[in-house]
Amino acid sequence: MLLTGFNLAHYLMDKGYLSPDEILDGTYTAHPTSSRNTNFLINRDTGSEGLFVKQVQAWDQEKILTLRSEATCYWLANQEDEYAQLKAFLPRFIEFDQPNHILITGAVPDAISLNDFYLRERQFPPMLAVQQAELLCSFHKDLARSVRDRPSFRLFRRQPPTVFHWSASGFSTYGGTKSLAEQQMIQLITRNSDYTERMAAVRDQWETSSLIHGDIKPANFLVVGIPVVGIPVGGSSIKTGRFDLRLIDWETADIGDPCWDVAAVFQSYLFYWIYHEPAADQTGPNPFIDPCFSLEAMQPSMQMFWKTYARNMDWSVEEARDNLKKTVGYCAMKLIHTCFESIQQLPGMPLHSARMLQLSLNMLTAPEVAAYELFGL
């Protein structure tokens, strides 16, 4: 069955997660949320935990497999002692209805996405970056060491990122009917032999050593307990500098290279910078360009993130240097992927997409310079 706003309540009642009284007294509400899947945020009786219901939109095999990967992470966190540490930042697992491809978790109250936090607060607190690094290290290092030789590793597909497959095929495996912007981008990449050779060198560095999230971005971090009108909620506030972070949307979770998740954190900072940069022919002051999205404003957080992550991973100076260079290469590949996502169905390439493409080539060409000039490392 496919869930809709009409049959959702009946489905939840049949499962025992919703009572008729909650529907009759008006305390039950269901809010669809935008996603590549069918998602519903369920509010219930006062004092009752909300629910988050996710189902694939169509019986597409790839979408079914990715939802199963996410459900596997939740199941392992609740069934295997070695994975129990994931529960510290996952929503509560309730059920995976495998025949209907439906994942049900608890909703996270008083939370906003990290993306909304950045845009609303117009700041990038270094302490938040430290907590991101600590969160990633908790399963990149500690969990990987304890479960590396266990059967649970075989539950994952061990596939490199999609953009690796695209670039390895000369982008012939990318999509079906391509927009003019997508065709233009593919031509810009494939006609540059230096570009394709450097992407191949990055692909050759891929390792399958750890559980990775695979889709790290600010929208997938939830910040819990941020004060709305100057009143702290849940014991966490901007003033104290300590945040309660959750990490959601584990559909692309796999056994892979932890530097891919790290690169995604850096890529998100670069995206804000590129997206908010003025046009090249723009002169004079612009009130719409927010200085908080400059590299100078974000570099302290990038530096704190990397230093915390490298220290917690117990890397030597040489290992940190080599992994930083690898991370810069992965970050360039993430920019290419993001560029493709931003131009689908467009007749021409927007300026910020062209900037992402150029920046990716610059990073592949001179990774040490990129680490210093972009990240301050």
**DSSP code for 29:** E
Closest listed residue to residue 137, CA positions, set 310, 281, 370: 310
Q: What average pLDDT does the segment 345-363 reach?
A: 89
- What single letter denotes the amino acid at residue 366? A
CA distance 99 to 305: 41
Helix, strand or coil, per DSSP, at residue 197: helix
CB 104 within 8 A of CB 111: no
pLDDT by residue (tens digit) across 316-350? 999 999 999 999 999 999 999 999 888 877 788 88
pLDDT by residue (tens digit) across 133-160? 999 999 999 777 777 777 887 888 889 9
CA distance 164 to 166: 5
What are the structural domains, with CATH classification, of the chain?
8-106 (3.30.200.20), 111-219+250-375 (3.90.1200.10)
Point out the least confidently predicted range of 11-20, 136-145, 208-217, 275-284.
275-284
pLDDT surpassing 50 at residue 287: no
Distance of CA 152 to the CA centre of its chain: 23
CA distance 272 to 267: 9
With tokens 């919703």, the residue in question is 18
CA distance 139 to 137: 5
Residues linked to residue 244 through DSSP beta bridges, in sequence order:
224
Check residue 231 and give its pLDDT: 39
- The answer to whether the Cα torsion of 80, 37, 247, 375 is positive or negative is positive
**DSSP code for 53:** E
Parallel, antiparallel, or unpaired: how do β-strands 221-224 and 111-113 relate? antiparallel
Question: Would you list the DSSP string of 76-106?
Answer: HHHH-GGGGGGGGTSPPEEEEETTTTEEEEE
Check residue 44 and give its pLDDT: 80
Q: What average pLDDT does the segment 189-210 reach?
A: 94
C-alpha angle 178/181/185, rounded to 5°?
95
Check residue 134 and give its pLDDT: 96
